[in-house]
Amino acid sequence: MGRLDGKVALITGAGKGMGRVAAELFAAEGALVAVADRVRNDGEEAVAAIEAAGGTAVFVPVDVSDATQVAAMVAATMESFGALHVLYNNAGIFPADDGGTTDTPEPTWDTVIDVNLKGVWLGCKYGIPAMLDSGGGSIINVASFVALVGAATAQIAYTASKGGVLSMTREIAVEYARKGIRANSLCPGPIETELLAELMSDPERRQRRLVHIPMGRLGRAEELAKAALFLASDDASFMTGSSLVVDGGITAAYVTPE
């Protein structure tokens, strides 16, 4: 018996990286999964992988910064599966030119906030009514450890967007706590994904990040997916408004380890 048997899960940014790993894990645990992604090929490949493993999934195209597309994403999920129990707002971006406060271009700031913060809000705005109609469920919003501490490498728009996700999730949790919906944030440290690998292709930049991780390594996508699975499942039934930190000890460290 899977931990998500009978549940319908909608995961944004599920075509690759952390989202795809989560989609495959949720499906293996019995969920019917709506794979939402901006890139059709990635999303369809994720669906094919889930189906090849014996799971059930559909692809839903979406740009999470577009309200019309997010509303259509939720509608398509309801049309396909008739319910929505788990909303995993995972989609996010981290442009290379997102840097310091004075040198980050304004268009970069706007794009990051639109996707990382507004996109999560839109997911909740349109997902919550469907969840209420389905008897409630679990919202998981991806924030970051940089929502809790200042980043060692300047990334002002990303950090601001993730701080907003953290605060917004707490408010949603309080608003819907007595209506059968739980809302929690995931705060990952650096996770080994294609996006991070590209950003850390410079050995010096990579080492500058690793030195701040007490465990001395990057996290793995499956480690974050298992944390999300816990929040999605009934095992976390008394958790709402919380921030689950999965960061290899970064936010616990006061000094750089030797």
For the chain, domain boundaries: 8-192+220-236
Q: Is 126 a catalytic residue?
A: no
Distances (CA, A) of 51 to 14, 26, 42, 54, 87: 15, 12, 14, 5, 20
Q: What confidence tens digit (pLDDT) does each residue in 80-110 have? A: 999 999 999 999 999 999 999 999 999 999 9
Q: Which residue has the tokens 């601001």?
A: 160
Tell the CATH topology of 8-192+220-236: Rossmann fold (3.40.50)
Question: 3-class DSSP state for residue 112?
Answer: helix
The per-residue pLDDT string of the chain (258 residues; one tens digit each, 9 = 90 and over) reads 899 999 999 999 999 999 999 999 999 999 999 999 999 999 999 999 999 999 999 999 999 999 999 999 999 999 999 999 999 999 999 999 999 999 999 999 999 999 999 999 999 999 999 999 999 999 999 999 999 998 878 899 999 999 999 999 999 999 999 999 999 999 999 888 766 666 566 676 666 677 778 998 889 999 999 999 999 999 999 999 999 999 999 999 875 555
Instruction: Tell me the whole-structure pTM to 2 decimals.
Output: 0.94
Element housing 32 (H / E): strand 32-37
The one catalytic residue in 88, 126, 158, 176 is 158
156 phi-psi bin (left φ>0, alpha ψ -120 to 50, beta other):
alpha
Q: Quick one: pLDDT at residue 206? A: 66
